[in-house]
Structure 1
Amino acid sequence: MAKYGEYLKKQFPLIDEDLKKYVEDILDNGAGEFEDEEEVFEAIGEVLQGISEKTEDDIKDICSQLLHMLQPDHQGMNNGPRKVLDAPIHLASMTSNLTETQPELKSIWLQTRDDNLKVDAKKLEKAEAKLQQKQGKRSDVKAAPVAAPVLQTATASQVTSKKDSKLEAKGTNRTQDIRIENFDIAYGDRVLLQGADLVLAFGRRYGLVGRNGLGKTTLLRMISAKQLKIPSHISILHVEQEVVGDDTIALQSVLECDFVREGLLRREKEINASISNGATDPALSSELSEVYAQLENIEADKAPARASIILSGLGFTPEMQARATRTFSGGWRMRLALARALFSKPDLLLLDEPTNMLDIKAIIWLENYLQNWPTTLLVVSHDRNFLDTVPTDIMHLHSQRIDTYRGNYEQFHKTKTEKHKNQQREFEAQQQHRAHVQEFIDRFRYNANRASSVQSKIKMLEKLPELKPVEKEVDVTLRFPETEPLSPPILQINEVGFYYSKDKVIFTNVNLGATLESRICIVGDNGAGKTTLLKIIMGILSPTSGLRSVHRGLKFGYFSQHHVDQLEMNVNSVELLQKDYPGKTIEEYRRQLGSFGVSGDLALQTIGSLSGGQKSRVAFARMCMGNPNFLVLDEPTNHLDIETIEALGKGINKYTGGVILVSHDERLIRMVCKELWICGGGTVASIEGGFDEYRKIVERELEAANK
């Protein structure tokens, strides 16, 4: 320990002794568990970044050195044992690695690659080794080699009209509307859409909704990759991958999206340089005048202000706008990608769960901004309030087809409900009519006097259109475990303060009490310390001042998106629970998964093949397998569909334990919140008036910022 303690002191001379001890404890506890430097960085990187001006790459280098100190024989180090290659070198993998070390080889936007389909060779090799080890324990027979999983890919096919094909071939197609008719999309052997139609009218804003796992994200990827054919002159931008970090400052990164402006400014510099060097060609002066005219025509001088407004709305302070993109975390780089898209104004903007990366203030700003969006927008979102505010139309993906409804989500819900009622009434009326006619036929089938009537009735039945009963979507239920009552006090933090370094205080004098009846919701800007507060409540972090006291019988269940992302991808859900909670029957594991909507064949699919929302439900099931009596939920709605968020709210309300929730989903907060805490300004404070009052505060702040 002394060795890497000295190394930490050398790298961070100003590190507080308590903080150094905290980092050393993490390294001691995880010494044998860290697989690579990325895992070390995940464990202590945020803490180390908070106490220095070092870049993320510098911190990663330090984490790599620490890993070598913890595990001197670690394979990743240059002075570790050499590994003899036992397989051909795969050049495509080498190229992929090269693009990561040479950012200039990599496009700032990645639109056509489905990251979910990548296989990490190292992780796959480890997973195979673990599985073989398990098989070896169960049997004395030598384990058979494990076959690598077959990669599934999404495929699309569509019928195109001859008229559109001719216009496209001639280059005379100028329509801004998009019509994708009679198309199919499959993912491996599974058909997601069949004979579907998609019509996007220019200038309309469409919200795409549907249950998790039905193919919403895949559809967006098929459109952005142009595997579904649309007119070639229509520009598409799909905000899916974060901006690659380099030395470009954030504001310039956004401005670079305007290729016309950037090209004109570059040409202006070239011409001025030539004139300064003594060039006398009159054509240069004429071209320079033309460049100036074009710059004035596109209002190039106003572009920095417009880009700054967008960045500010998404939470970037003036100081952050002047920072290099490599200094930002993945979440902030995703915001940069969104800012670039909003600044670019493509003909078709595709957004997939844009509110996942935003706090409530940024969500409200984005809602207001997109209401004046000038081109076509197609957005996948689970945020009910966002869908009530932004879209002009709702597209409902279900039963391998897409139905379009005019209006926002609330209007869609009413119309769909009424439509289903009418369809069911019509079906039931027809069934009664059929039964009545069939009864007549059966009664008089052998009556010669009624033969003609019977024949006419039979023909009438044959001509009746065949109506089908309304296919009801299966209701989602999330059932949290029953808990035993505990005598108070349950949970108390008094005069608590916390800082990563003395010049970076997160909060001071926090007083918070909770019982098994508590439904506390914590809101605040990103970076205000919400997740840090949760970790102090659970005892993962120790406060730098104040006291934390908990009932000895209190058992926390912690959910965060971080846990979802770290699920083992090469096993199925039953195997995952079996590994974490051994000794139970298969029926118990399946019953637990079924409590969170993961049932049937879904429980036997590899976790890597599940949608984001389905993975979240698996993470809920795993969290509750330990029967917690107090839930701490950090942004639990990311990737959940609307129906599952509703089920989550109902499940929390029925739960007999305590709940502390960090969320930006307005509807969920309104469903469950009994006590609202605002985290920000170095403290945490309760607010009278609940979410309505908080929303008013945020809107006043946005109005003041826009003046």
Structure 2
Amino acid sequence: MTACSEYIKNVFPLIDDDLKHYVEGVLKNGADDFQDSEEVYDAIGEVLQEVSSDKTEDDIRTICNELLNMLKPDKSSSKKNGPTKVLNAPIHLASMAANLENDMNDIKSIWVMHRDDTLKVDAKKLEKAEAKLQEKQEKRSKDVKTVAPVKLETATASQVTSKKESKMEAKGSNRTQDIRIENFDVAYGDRILLQGADLSLAFGRRYGLVGRNGLGKSTLLRMISNGQLRIPSHISILHVEQEVIGDDTLAIESVLQCDIVREDLLKREKEISAAINSGSNDPELSNQLTEIYAQLQNIESDKAPAKASIILNGLGFTSEMQQKETKTFSGGWRMRLALARALFSRPDLLLLDEPTNMLDIKAIIWLENYLQNWPTTLLVVSHDRNFLDTVPTDILHLHSQRIEAYRGNYEQFEKTKTEKLKNQQREYDAQMQHRQHVQEFIDRFRYNANRAASVQSKIKMLEKLPELKPIEKEVSVVLKFPDTEPLSPPILQLNDVTFEYTKNRVIFSNVNLGATMDSRICIVGDNGAGKTTLLKIIMGILSPTSGMRHVHRNLKFGYFSQHHVDQLDMNVNSVELLQSAYPGKPIEEYRRQLGSFGVSGDLALQTVASLSGGQKSRVAFSRMCMGQPNFLVLDEPTNHLDIETIEALGNAITKYTGGVILVSHDERLIRKVCKELWVCANGSVRSIEGFDEYRKIVEQELEAAQSK
């Protein structure tokens, strides 16, 4: 432990003594239980992240790995130095050295091993054995195929552009703000995602792009942003996909820098002012400065910091956080910063891919309200039903390798689509019935000379009928959690639980909560309020500072979190992934398990790297349930799932016979399955009933913040 203490002090020179003692205590108590560096990271990673302003998550993981090596030194080092020898009595080397000549044999008896000559290896036999071994290895290397690292296919696109548009673009006379991409194809390797598709975006409207996982929604956004699908060159595009790079720039300055015009004017103003202050008498400089001040006034430059601050505050950045350097923020906060920059800069076309994934409920409600007044064109991929009911003016439905446009929000889209499919089915059924009736007439009177004219007329009529295709119905998604045996209460209890990283930083105190096998609980609260910490205490990963955690001895947790999805082995297929986690079962059982989460057929044999985000989540669900848990703990389970799969997840949770605690920001899922909410706020956790009560609390907080 001394080495660990020194290492922590060297790496974190500013660490508080209380916090250092806490980390040392966790390492000391858990030294025997830690199996890998991931478990060390789960135990202390969050704490170390809090005290480090200049270290990324990867840095913290590396530090945790070093600490594990100190706690459990690699056994290979002992093998290199030979087996450890323990003397059967203490030896005083100084006195032995003084009598070196007299006691040489005694010294040799300690340090030199006497070998039995019968145990010596025959050199000829050894040479022969090595030759045979080499021959076997060469033969085996011919039979075994080497596994190359997965090489992902890249998406390609082609489109048809009219000569008129090309000429206007070449002349620079195309000033339209509307976007129309006609007759385009998108492929991913050998798989065609879109074929002969059309996409029209009218300026000032807000579009929600929806469709099943893996059909190419994110790929389409990427192709528009990187220019593979061409749009008029004068239209500015901003695609919020990458997190902001961490450096010494303050958060609010990072947002203000997006206004290039303002930044350029301020830079010129500073240069001219410096020249005038240096004694320059050039009258032209004064004229330029006056013109710059006028331009700054026209663009309301003085209001820009307040506008940037409002956006950052809405996305969860406090006044103190806005003055911090970007390198001090984690990946999730840097993604929020990227979103803030996009909202501030207001491009002609804003592309958002799952913007609610990185936000808590308060920030989502603020974003919904903010985007309803968005002045330019918005194209957003989202699977949050409430967000899609609130923000879009139009829905674009990607299916069957094409895009269909619908007016209205998602609720209206569902009604219109259902009615449209019913009408198409009725029309198809009516035509098939009519065709059958006419065909019967033709077959009956084909060889009747008196009816020859009528038969020919009917045949021509059939040929002229438009050919209607049968309605393609999307396969419904079904998820199924394993059945569990009932357990007698009490199942899970937290009594007077307090948790603190330091005496000055109490996460929550005096928490008294309980759960049963019928529980459907959602933990809500702002980012940093302690939701994940509470989950870890519930599962026993973290120990409370004070108070007691009681769990039933047969309780078996199944834990799902987004980092479990990110850490799947990308080089194998889904069946092989389950095989490595739970070896020794028939292939059919792995296939059946994957099938219960919608990963079936050829999909189960694709490499994990080639699956979409939602498909990877289903594989992670499948692996979690292979262990037959009877209490599920789900941390943001809806990230990357499509709307139909989220609906299926809700149904699966409802039918599950064990207990469920989840952390989620998906309002529809919470309303569908959760009977109770645990609210983390102001250093405590309290229980409330229903989502309506929590939404009122959040809206009141937002109103109070806006009125300040």
> Which residue of 2 is the match for residue 122 of structure 1?
none
Deviation at 1:45, TM superposition (A): 3.0
The residue number in structure 1 matching 2:539 is 538
Counterpart in 2 of 1:670? 671
User: Using a 3 Å threshold, how does the CA distance of structure 1 residues 178 and 430 change in structure 2: closer, same or farther?
Assistant: same
Partner of residue 695, structure 2: 695
Partner of 2:180: 179
Question: 1:413 maps to what in 2?
Answer: 414
The answer to whether the 8 Å contact 1:68/1:74 transfers is no
| More deviation, 634-643/679-688 | 679-688
The Cα shift of 1:236 comes to 0.1
Letter in 1 for 2:395: I
Question: Contact 1:251–1:322 (CA<8 Å) still a contact in 2?
Answer: yes
Give the residue type in structure 2 aligned to 1:214: L
In the alignment, the residues of structure 1 paired with residue 32 and residue 272 of structure 2 have an alpha-carbon distance, to the nearest angstrom, of 61
State the one-letter code of the partner of 1:697.
Answer: I
Q: Deviations over 1:598-648 (max 9, x none)?
A: 011111111111111000000100000011111111110000000000000
**In the aligned structure 1, how far is the partner of 2:551 from the partner of 2:69?**
38
Aligned twin of 1:387: 388
Deviations, residues 314-334 of structure 1 (Å, cap 9, x unaligned): 000000000000000000000
The equivalent residue for 1:244 is 245
For the Cα contact (< 8 Å) 1:496–1:546, is it kept in 2?
yes
Give the AA of the match of 2:48: L
Q: What is the aligned-residue RMSD (CA, Å)?
A: 2.2
Partners of 1:529 and 1:679 within 8 A in 2: yes
Aligned letter for 1:361? K
| Matched residue, 1:524 | 525
Residues 190 and 39 (structure 1 numbering): CA distance in 2 closer, same or farther, change over 3 Å?
farther
Matched-pair contact (CA < 8 Å) for 1:5–1:24:
no
Q: Contact between 2:152 and 2:609, CA under 8 Å: does it hold in 1?
A: no
Task: Give 2:350's aligned residue.
Answer: 349
Aligned pair 1:162/2:166, yes or no?
Answer: no
Indicate the SS of the match to 2:602. helix
Deviation at 1:8, TM superposition (A): 2.8
Deviation at 1:61, TM superposition (A): 7.7
Check 1:5–1:635 CA distance in 2 against 1; reply closer, same or farther (3 A cut). Answer: same
Alignment-derived partner of residue 292 in structure 1:
293
Once the two structures are overlaid, the 10-residue window that deviates more, 525-534 or 349-358, is 525-534
> Could you tell me which residue of structure 2 aligns to residue 367 of structure 1?
368
- Superposed displacement of residue 312, structure 1: 0.3
Alignment of 1:270-309 (within 5 A): 270-309=271-310
CA 1:214–1:54: 2 relative to 1, 3 Å? closer
Contact 1:206 1:377 in 2 (8 A): yes
- Alpha-carbon distance in structure 1 between the residues aligned to 2:314 and 2:673: 28
State TM-score, norm by structure 2. Answer: 0.87
Per-residue deviation, residues 478-530 of structure 1 (Å, max 9, x unmatched):
00001111111111111111112221111011111111111111111111111
Letter in 1 for 2:585: K
Query: Partner of 1:93 in structure 2?
Result: none
Aligned equivalents of 2:73 and 2:22: distance in 1?
26
CA pair 39-541 structure 1, distance change in 2 beyond 3 A = closer
Structure 1 distance, partners of 2:479, 2:440, is: 45
User: Counterpart of 1:23 in structure 2: which amino acid?
Assistant: L
Q: Any stretches of 5+ residues in structure 2 without a counterpart?
A: 77-135
- Partner of 1:597 in structure 2? 598
1:452 corresponding residue in structure 2: 453
Residue type of the alignment partner of 2:700:
R
With over 3 angstroms needed to count, the CA separation of the structure-2 counterparts of 1:396 and 1:442, relative to structure 1, is same
The question of 1:220 aligning with 2:225 is answered no
Residue pair 1:51, 1:500 contacting (<8 A) in 2 also:
no
1:73 deviation in Å?
Answer: 8.0
Letter in 2 for 1:291: I
Residue aligning to 1:631: 632
Larger-gyration structure (1/2): 2
Give, in angstroms, the shift of residue 66 of structure 1: 3.7
Q: Which residue of 2 aligns with 1:7?
A: 7
The Cα of 1:199 is off from its aligned counterpart by 0.3
**Match of residue 86 from structure 1:** none
Q: 1:61 to 1:164 in 2, by over 3 A?
A: same
Q: What pairs with 1:75-114 in structure 2 (closer than 5 Å)?
A: none
User: Counterparts of 1:529 and 1:206 in 2: how far apart (Å)?
Assistant: 35
The CA distance in 2 between the partners of 1:674 and 1:447, in whole Å, is 73
Give the structure 1 partner of residue 49 of structure 2: 49
Q: List structure 1 runs of 4+ shifted beyond 2 angstroms.
A: 5-19, 23-31, 38-45, 49-75, 138-151
> How far, CA to CA, are the matches of 2:693 and 2:489 in structure 1?
30
CA contact (8 A) 1:496 1:508 kept: yes
Q: Which residue of 1 is the match for residue 125 of structure 2? A: none
Residues 455 and 294 (structure 1), Cα distance of their counterparts in 2 relative to 1, 3 Å cut: same
1:68–1:268: structure 2 CA closer, same or farther, 3 Å change rule?
farther
**Contact 1:255–1:307 (CA<8 Å) still a contact in 2?**
yes
- CA shift at 1:144, angstroms? 3.0
How far the C-alpha of 1:447 sits from its partner, in A, is 1.4
CA distance in 2, matches of 1:39, 1:240: 30
d(CA) in 1 for partners of 2:44, 2:586 = 37
Q: Aligned residue pairs: how many? A: 642
Q: Which runs of 5+ in 1 are unaligned?
A: 76-134
Alignment partner, residue 706 of structure 2? 706
CA distance in 2, matches of 1:477, 1:65: 43
Q: Find the residue that maps to 1:229 and give its secondary structure.
A: coil
